[in-house]
Amino acid sequence: MTYCSTPGKVILFGEHAVLYGEPSIAVAINRRFYCDITESKRDRTTVNGYPLARRYHSYIVECLNKLEVEDELEIKTETELDSGTGMGSSAAITVAILGALRKLLGEDISEEIIAKDAFSVEFDVQGNASPIDTSTSTHGSAIMVSEKKEKNFLWDVEKEGRRWNIHHRDVPDLTLVVGNTGVHSPTPPLVKKVRKFYERSNFAKEVIRDIGEIVRESCVLFEEEDLEGLGELMDKNHRLLSILGVSHPKLEKLIKGARKYSYGAKLTGAGGGGSMIALTDRPDKVADVIKKKGGEPYVLDSTDKGLSYHGGKEI
């Protein structure tokens, strides 16, 4: 049996721009995905007792294909990461399943290998993605992805002529509140929408570059633990994302409400619905406002703990 868990993530700065060579920062959060894999005594692979089916378990099917697993397995999962909330559930599933499979097969379980495979699985399932989610879920703490190699470099990732350098970042203890709008908004159509705008407009290219500038500034503020400065940058990053057309009236409502009790707030992830995030030292107030405005709040802390193996405990 291998039992392991992975954290979710939230993107603090640089979503979308990271697909155009700009940097991005995500932080691992204290909500996790758990899985436990054993060889099955039955003649088919099951997930939580149900037969494995691509329709319901697309990420798990791709993980099994990636590692060319042919044995029948019993896979059990539990999650604290609701899907579609911007907290990185698909990356966490992918990293945990690959980590557990590799351990079960007696293969290399180094972070770099698992993170690279996980990125490749996400890319195959989603069509276009950066390695920010899967790297953060594997490594924990915070990850800065950039075209340029910088200090605390971990590994690099290449895909279709693009290269991302993955870096560790220490982050101060952050209290974050995610507000889920409840508006279902898959990532691929938003990535396509921004691509169209980017390809047709120099103005969009400038906006993407400005987002990159914000991410670079935020790196300095993280080191200085300047929460006020970081909050201001979140507000600025959000304005630029709205210009790119990936906000939503419900996101605007939650963000406006949350800002009264926060250092700053912005959408997180692909946008178009999905979730916003606020950096605050008054999480209860922010959670109340989000609820009053019709959103679902999640109060989160950052965590250092990435992919972890646990001995003996079964789900």
Q: Which residues are catalytic?
A: 133
Q: How far is the CB of 270 from ligand PMV (least distance, A)?
A: 4
Q: Which is nearer to ligand PMV, 4 or 11 (CB)?
A: 11
143 near 168, Cβ under 8 Å?
A: yes
> Does 23 participate in binding ligand PMV (rule CB under 6 A)?
no
177 near 299, Cβ under 8 Å?
A: yes
Give the whole-angstrom CA distance, residue 6 versus residue 137.
6
- Give me the sign of the Cα torsion angle 143, 149, 154, 157: positive
115 near 126, Cβ under 8 Å?
A: no
Choose, by CB under 6 A, the member of 3, 16, 144, 303 that binds ligand PMV. 16
Name the residue with the smallest CB distance to ligand PMV: 269
- Tell me phi and psi for residue 67, to 5 degrees: -95, 10
Q: Count other C-beta atoms under 10 Å from residue 272's C-beta.
A: 20
260 near 249, Cβ under 8 Å?
A: no
> Does 187 participate in binding ligand PMV (rule CB under 6 A)?
yes
Q: How far is the CB of 293 from ligand PMV (least distance, A)?
A: 21
> Does 15 participate in binding ligand PMV (rule CB under 6 A)?
yes
* Interactions with ligand PMV, residue window 266-305 (CB under 6 A): 269-270
* Interactions with ligand PMV, residue window 122-181 (CB under 6 A): 129-130, 132-133
* Interactions with ligand PMV, residue window 235-264 (CB under 6 A): none
Q: Count other C-beta atoms under 10 Å from residue 242's C-beta.
A: 18
Q: Count other C-beta atoms under 10 Å from residue 182's C-beta.
A: 14
Choose, by CB under 6 A, the member of 7, 8, 23, 86 that binds ligand PMV. 86
Q: How far is the CB of 189 from ligand PMV (least distance, A)?
A: 11
Give the whole-angstrom CA distance, residue 28 versus residue 31.
9
Q: How far is the CB of 117 from ligand PMV (least distance, A)?
A: 16
Q: Which is nearer to ligand PMV, 18 or 234 (CB)?
A: 18
Q: Which stretch binds ligand PMV (CB under 6 A): 16-24, 46-54, 208-216, 285-293?
A: 16-24
Q: How far is the CB of 148 from ligand PMV (least distance, A)?
A: 17
- Taking CA atoms, 213 is separated from 67, 152, 206, in Å, by 39, 20, 10
Give the whole-angstrom CA distance, residue 98 versus residue 78.
15
Pairing of strands 73-79, 46-47: parallel
- Tell me phi and psi for residue 202, to 5 degrees: -70, -30
Pairing of strands 308-309, 2-13: antiparallel
Q: Which is nearer to ligand PMV, 19 or 101 (CB)?
A: 19
Q: How far is the CB of 106 from ligand PMV (least distance, A)?
A: 31
Number of shown-chain residues binding ligand PMV (CB under 6 A)? 15
Q: Which is nearer to ligand PMV, 137 or 280 (CB)?
A: 137
What residues line the site for ligand PMV (CB under 6 A)? 11, 15-16, 18-19, 86, 88, 129-130, 132-133, 187, 191, 269-270
